[in-house]
Structures are given as C-alpha cells and as structure tokens.
Amino acid sequence: MLSGPTCSGYFPSLARKSSNISYLHHNGGWLCFYDTTILQLDVLKIYNRKLSSIMVTFSKIMTERLLLRALKGGSNTKIITLNGKKIRKMPSALEKLPGLRTLDLQNNLISKVCPELSTLTQLTLLNLGNNLLEEVPEEIKYLTSLKRLHLFGNRICRIATGVCDGLQELIMLNLNNNQLTSLPQEVGRLRNLTYLSINHNQLTMIPTEVCSLENLYELHLNYNQLMYIPEEIKLLQNLRHLFLVRNNIEVLPEGLCHLKKLKLLDIAGNVIQIFPAGFQELKLREFYCEGNPLFVKQPITAKLPKVIWTLQEITARFVLHQLQENNQLIMYSLEYYPEIKHKISKAKKCVLCGKPFLSEWLECVQFVPPSKNWKISKNLQLIPLRILLCSYRCFRWRGPDVFGIVQE
C-alpha cells in the first residue's frame, strides 16, 4: 500500500520506481501521470475534497487517466474508488474489469447506471450513495455476489422489478434519504439480509413480506410516515435493533412482544399512548420513547355507561365457552361454517377471568414499572400496558394499578 502526501504534485520517487504497487491512495492535491512504470494497480483511490474550481478540470482528466490505469490491471483490479469526482456518466469500460470487488462512486452526479454494470458478477460492495438516481436500477439484479449496497442520498422513488431476485447474497442495504413511498413485496426475497436501513423516506407502510427476512438483525425506519407495524413482525426472530423514530405510529402490535432477541427499541416521536400486554417481558437493554403522548397514572372519574351486548356477542361468547368445554357437537358443526370459524378465531381472552369474548370489551390500562435492566428515556416512569377485560363485573375486581380508559 502506498499513500500520497496530501499536497504533493508528484508521486514519491519510491512509487515511480515501483512496478508492483498494489494500493494507491491519494488524499487531496493532484498526481503526476507521466510515470509509465505503474502497470499493476489493484486498488485505485482518489479523493479531491480540497481542489479549487480550476483543479476540477484537472480532476476530470485525472479521473479518466487513473481509470485507464486501473483498466490496464484488467482482472487484477479489485477496487475502484472515485469519490466526489463530479462524474455524470458511469465509466462503461467497467466490463473490462471482471474481477472488481468494490466499486465506490459516492458523491457524484450519476443519474443512470451504465448497462455494463451488470457484468460485474464478482462485485461484493457497490456504493452509489449521494448521486442522482431515481430508481434502484434493473442492472443491479445481475450483481449476484453483492453483499453491501449503498444507495443513500439519491432521489429513488421505485425499485425495478426483479432486482431482489438477483441479490441473494446481499447482507446490507442502505436506502436512507430517498423518496420511497412504498416497498415492493419482493424485498422479502433478500433472504440473507441482516441490515436494512430506509431512514428519511416517505413510507406509509411496510409490506408483511419484510417480516419474512428471518436473518434481519437491524431495521432502521426512522423519519417515515408509518401508521402501523404489521403483526407479522413477530417472525423476525433474529432482530436485535429496531428504530421507528418520528413516524405516525399509534399502536404497536402484540407481535413485537415475541421478539425474544430484541435489545434496542427506539420509538421516539410517534403518537403511542399505550403498549401491548406482555411488552414489559421484553429482554431489552435500551428503550427510548420520548415525544409520545403516553398515558400517565392520573386517574379521573367517569360514569360507567350501561352496556348491552349485541346478539352476535352473546352467541359468540356462548360458542367460545362451549369450545373451551370441548363440546364435540359445536366443534363438528363449525366445520360447515368456515366464515364463523374464521371470526371465532379472532376471539380474545379476559386478562382477569380468562373467559373469551369476541368484539365487545373494556379497554383498560395497567401501569407496571420498567425492567431495571432497561436503559430508558427519562419520561418513562411507568409503562402503560393495554389490557382487555370481558365485562364490568371483571372491571370491579381489577387490581389497584388497572384503570378504565374513557372514550372521548
């Protein structure tokens, strides 16, 4: 490896004499090119953060010429880094570099990838962050060895069909700061994905297929417009970190309580008032919930309304009770009424008496102290948990930490 001095105009003499440089790194300043001994570049890395406007033209010429050098390396060239070079068009000569493993073109002006990109089947890292792309292009699906894909800071509003099918080795996908309003269902086919980040987009929902990414370890969905999280999130059994900061989420799904490996949950800046029952059992290390209108333990008195159950509710409770008692006749009859069977399957259980009910219940809040092992936000003294009771009879038996929620 050889690093150039930051303001030198020439290669160090050692470099000029070398015909076997494996790594050339020049940080600022500019390079001299009339040396013809450097023929075996494995790595080409150029930064020009400090170049003045006069130097930009120089910079373009240098980029092209250095690229030519890399091309001379042919299949030996493994890494190309052209960071912040004002490149508008991807170099089509990429097809002459079949052994390329890393292609870093971040901080340029690329609005379209070149078709030759699809020939880079050995590529494991592609960084097109901070460019002008409007879609995740189809060409990417041919990059079958790709493990890391950075597409942050573009204008991406769609993902071309079939892209996910080709990316079976992908473990990391960064789509932060784009304009996605939805994700295609096929995202669920990225079966090796462990890290997915889609912060600062305009997602209003995430498809349930995302929940089939069973290797997912980190999921970042901060600064979107999500209204809810699918119940199927419980399928992400390897998830450790979940970030949902600044969305419009009102209710967290009960499925969240089944994420046994979850260590960090950040839901700051949503509209959550209450957590699903079982939430306090999570084995979290960090939990942040600032900026949510959480219920606080401040009881108010309200009149108990008289409730008369509907005929459907009374029937459902009877049938559910009979099923609990293993009534064979009811079980047998239900097989002929699949619609009723489906409805009955959505029954809930009273937290107090354990009896089932279907669609009429009393929503209550129970306050429990957060686990001592959790590192938490300052605003959280007690966790408000949502619990459901079957009747006012059970409501009268409730413990001192359970309160009815007054419907406004």
Binding site for Zn ion (CB under 5 A): 350, 352-353, 390, 394
CA atoms within 13 A on the CB side of 285: 7
Q: In terms of CB distance, is 169 or 401 closer to Zn ion? A: 401
Residues 6+ apart with CB under 8 A from 47: 26, 27, 28, 83, 84
Q: In terms of CB distance, is 1 or 314 closer to Zn ion? A: 314
Q: CB 142 → Zn ion: shortest distance, Å?
A: 59
Nearest to 93 by CA among 109, 60, 122, 70: 70
Cβ contact 137:161 at 8 Å: no
Q: In terms of CB distance, is 261 or 393 closer to Zn ion? A: 393
Q: CB 319 → Zn ion: shortest distance, Å?
A: 17
Cβ contact 128:110 at 8 Å: yes
Q: In terms of CB distance, is 44 or 394 closer to Zn ion? A: 394
**What's the N-to-C CA distance of the chain in angstroms?**
69
Q: CB 397 → Zn ion: shortest distance, Å?
A: 8
Q: In terms of CB distance, is 272 or 394 closer to Zn ion? A: 394
Q: CB 357 → Zn ion: shortest distance, Å?
A: 8
Pairing of the two strands 264-266 and 43-47: unpaired
SS3 275: strand
Residues 6+ apart with CB under 8 A from 408: none
Q: CB 255 → Zn ion: shortest distance, Å?
A: 24
Residue number, nearest CB to Zn ion: 350
Q: In terms of CB distance, is 258 or 398 closer to Zn ion? A: 398
Distances (CA, A) of 130 to 114, 202, 276, 386: 17, 18, 39, 43
Distances (CA, A) of 232 to 23, 24, 191, 235, 258: 47, 48, 16, 6, 10
Q: CB 407 → Zn ion: shortest distance, Å?
A: 19
Number of neighbouring beta carbons within 10 Å of residue 3: 13
Q: In terms of CB distance, is 10 or 395 closer to Zn ion? A: 395
Q: CB 354 → Zn ion: shortest distance, Å?
A: 7
